[in-house]
Amino acid sequence: MADSYDVVVIGAGPAGYVCAIRAAQLGLKTACVESKSYEGGFGGTCLNWGCIPAKALLESAALAQNLKDHGEDMGVRPIDVEYDMSAAVDRSRFISEKLTGGIQYLFKKNEIEAIEGRGRIVGKGKVEVTPEEGDVRTIEAKNIVIATGAVMKSFPGFE
């Protein structure tokens, strides 16, 4: 027999994880399905590889540029400002990991089952989850929320 939930959310980006948390807070037995290999895992592209890490890198670059261009005006005499890309990337990864850890904490706190794998609807109230390793699993849900986001696609002749 398949596991059964009140709500299954497919996708754990900004819309999906918030939806799962709210459903659980309302007392619904909730699961959230996300593929780690596709778009970065829980938190989605924005949190893992897009918006958040990019903004962290931009903040580091802006600080270095500000010191070079305006440091003396502000009473700071920069001797030699050097941008360390490796350290900036490490900082951006740290920020992302801290935020994804927050999602994991909220899932545990609200008793949401985080299911790693690629989810697809295979029938009314049925979601098939294919993990990277292991057996395919079918789960049942009274309600299914599709929160998989979007990916830009080019069409031939319309680049």
What is the token pair recorded at 125? Answer: 């109230």
> Model-level pTM?
0.81
Q: Which residues contact 13 (CB under 8 A, 6 or more apart)?
A: 39, 43, 44, 45, 46, 47, 147, 148, 149
Determine the Cα–Cα distance for residues 58 and 99; give it in Å rounded to an integer: 18
- HSE on the CB side for 63, CA within 13 Å? 11
> Residues in the chain, how many?
159
Taking residues 114-126, report their average pLDDT: 95
Instruction: Write out pLDDT tens, residues 66-94.
Output: 888 888 888 888 778 788 899 999 999 99
Instruction: Write out pLDDT tens, residues 89-101.
Output: 999 999 999 998 8
Res 152: pLDDT: 76
Any bridge partners for residue 34, and if so which?
A: 116
Any bridge partners for residue 116, and if so which?
A: 34
